[in-house]
Amino acid sequence: MKMSFRWYGTGNDSVSLSDIKQIPGVEEIVWALHYKQPGEVWEVEEIQKVKDELDEYGFGMEVVESVNVHDDIKTAGPKRDLYIENYKETLRNLAKFGVKVVCYNFMPVFDWTRTDLFHPLPDGSTALYYEKDKIKQDPKEMAEYILKECKGYTMPGWEPERMAVLEELFEKYKDVDKETLWENLKYFLEALMPTCHETGIKMAIHPDDPPWDIFGLPRLLVDTESIDRFVSMVDDPYNCLTLCSGSLGSNPKNNVAEIVRKHADRIAFAHIRNVKHFPNGDFSEASHRDCDGDTGILDIIKAYHDAGFDGYIRPDHGRHIWGEKCRPGYGLYDRALGIMYILGAWDLLDKLSK
């Protein structure tokens, strides 16, 4: 496997490339042009700027997270084919820089959702938290709540520009039920596969987070059955998964290690995150240490190791520790600890298997 670290870019992240360079084992930076709107083409000159920065530190740029998918593609809106053509052009431009994996999601309207971005934990740190009762049925109310609670940070998909047109966005999805969303996803992927073969880029979908319907919007990739459906719906080695243990692991019924064993050949990118469940359905994000949560981190790492996984791995959200001021879930310290935990387990498995 190749260890990677997500970085939001100069001026857009409290973590610097020189900080990341000091974490043992990181080969790749998971990056994106965060200022780009869904549907826009990523131009060569823009990508070149990122490459120049990463080259200075000897980091690879093989994984992009994310090239976001325009709502017209998700809803079969009037400009879907135009935006698909733009997406293909972006893939061709990315391929010129050796990009191998593009992560994206097909969640309607929002990306991931939490009710508290800095929830205090008993050890004095804070973490992302989901309290069922705080999910407002009215998404507008929820957006206001999130904007108020999140100390100036936004969760992806909850940007003020999008919140300003929330009603319009909901209107677009009003006739999109789960089956229609599946069809639209299939249409998108079938259109992209020839470009993926031509460029050597794997499309790696991120599962829905949390893995259940919210605000009356359908969510597709939520459990083993839906993941089985996804991989067979477009049965192509370039149609892959970003297997996020924390997203799927938010539902205690999901056995993530089993999913890894079943679909290792279609996982291009692994997000490793631990989640602790409460009996009422609330959950808190936790440190990467296996016993701090319920996700089965060691089983998952073992499943990847047993499969000879040679894709990309990154620690996912960390807690906020040692007073660090950072994007929710994306600080330096706890993610660096996560890397050392994953590498510790991996190196031992390597040693034991020799």
Give the active site residue among 70, 263, 288, 317: 317
Residue of 306, 316, 216, 234 whose CA lies nearest to 269: 316
Give the active site residue among 208, 244, 305, 341: 244
Could you say whether residue 66 binds ligand DNO (CB under 6 A)? yes
In the bound complex, what is the minimum distance in angstroms from residue 273's beta carbon to ligand DNO?
A: 8
Could you say whether residue 206 binds ligand DNO (CB under 6 A)? yes
In the bound complex, what is the minimum distance in angstroms from residue 67's beta carbon to ligand DNO?
A: 8
Could you say whether residue 111 binds ligand DNO (CB under 6 A)? yes
The burial of 138, by beta-carbon neighbours within 10 Å (0-12 exposed, 13-18 middle, 19 or more buried), is given as: exposed
The burial of 235, by beta-carbon neighbours within 10 Å (0-12 exposed, 13-18 middle, 19 or more buried), is given as: exposed
**Structural contact between residues 146 and 139, judged by C-beta atoms closer than 8 angstroms:** no
In the bound complex, what is the minimum distance in angstroms from residue 348's beta carbon to ligand DNO?
A: 27
* Residue with smallest beta-carbon separation from ligand DNO: 66
Residue of 107, 78, 104, 105 whose CA lies nearest to 91: 104
In the bound complex, what is the minimum distance in angstroms from residue 207's beta carbon to ligand DNO?
A: 8
Residue of 95, 112, 110 whose CA lies nearest to 316: 112
Site map (CB under 6 A) of ligand DNO, residues 133-172, x = contact:
-----------------------x----------------
DSSP string, 85-108: HHHHHHHHHHHTTT--EEEEE--S
| Rounded Cα–Cα distance for residues 60 and 185 (Å) | 29
Binder of ligand DNO out of 4, 75, 86, 105 (CB under 6 A): 105
Q: What share of the chain is helix, strand, coil (3-state, %, to 5)?
A: 40, 20, 40
Could you say whether residue 100 binds ligand DNO (CB under 6 A)? no
Q: Nearer to ligand DNO by C-beta: 207 or 296? A: 207
Q: Nearer to ligand DNO by C-beta: 34 or 124? A: 34
Question: Which residues are marked as active site?
Answer: 206, 244, 271, 316-317, 330
